[in-house]
Structure 1
Amino acid sequence: MKNTLKAGDERKIEEEFFQYIVIRLGDEQYGIDIRYIDNIVRMQHITRVPKVPAYLKGVINLRGEVLPVMSLRLKMGLEADELTRATRIIILKLEQQGSVGIIVDEVKEVVTLGTSEIEKMSQNAGENKKSFITGVGKHNGELISLLDLNSITLEENA
């Protein structure tokens, strides 16, 4: 069924919904667009690679594919990772960079957010950490910072 609008009626009838995996880094919650997530695996041995930035922890072998793994905490300027039983590596599939793993403290849940529940961030945010955030989602009274995966995985802003 398609709704027809009268001329001059500018209201948007259909709200778009997006699914995010909510992760924890320290005390903060972040959302990752589920469309970019290929896999979530338990923490495993990471082989160090010499002469790479500190946030690049090394590589893992996942079903015969060698994937780079980065510390999301270090990339965002937070304290180093504390590996626990809840620590996970999220494998992201990105168009420009291919597959990359990111280390997160915990994977919490999947949430669905409508466009009305997401506030976009202004682009002129001076703080470096803010450039990794595209917006803030509101879910059950909590705020979830939505990650900009392209700016996080690009190596230029190391």
Structure 2
Amino acid sequence: MVIFDHPDTNINDFSKELGVKGIELDLLSESNVVKAIKEAFSILGGFDGVINNAAATGEFMLQKGDAFSPFEDYPLELWMHGMNVNLTGTFLICREAGKYMKSHGGSIINISSTYGFLAPDHRIYKNQKFKSMPSYSASKAGVLGLTKWLSTWWAEDNIRV
């Protein structure tokens, strides 16, 4: 097993604790994703399955700016960051892993969120600093759409998505 995590994390200690290989991965860099998938394939000798579970979380987004500002003031930079991590990152991992899986099949599991198919109840957060980020809901809905699309695209290649 190989796990990926953002370069700002301590992937080496975590992977040693799990007894697996850890690879730093910046999902915002297409070339980094291509390189990381190639390295994982080389280590494993193939892919039977891939799990996409990355998310631009509120804590991380707070470092980028006011992640919980009202929608009318929501910064485009945070919108794009959420979309790039949650949706584009999933797209890149699927695309690159799928290239290796086409010859023998496999499974790809894309983790979305309840907020990907249900809108948050904003009344819950009314008097709190924390609010659901619009980029999170929109990008996780996109993950669901991408997953459905890929499931039919790769069906004949025995890749279950």
TM-score range, shorter chain: under 0.3
- Give the structure with the larger strand fraction: 1
- Give the structure with the larger helix fraction: 2
Is the radius of gyration larger for structure 1 or structure 2? 1
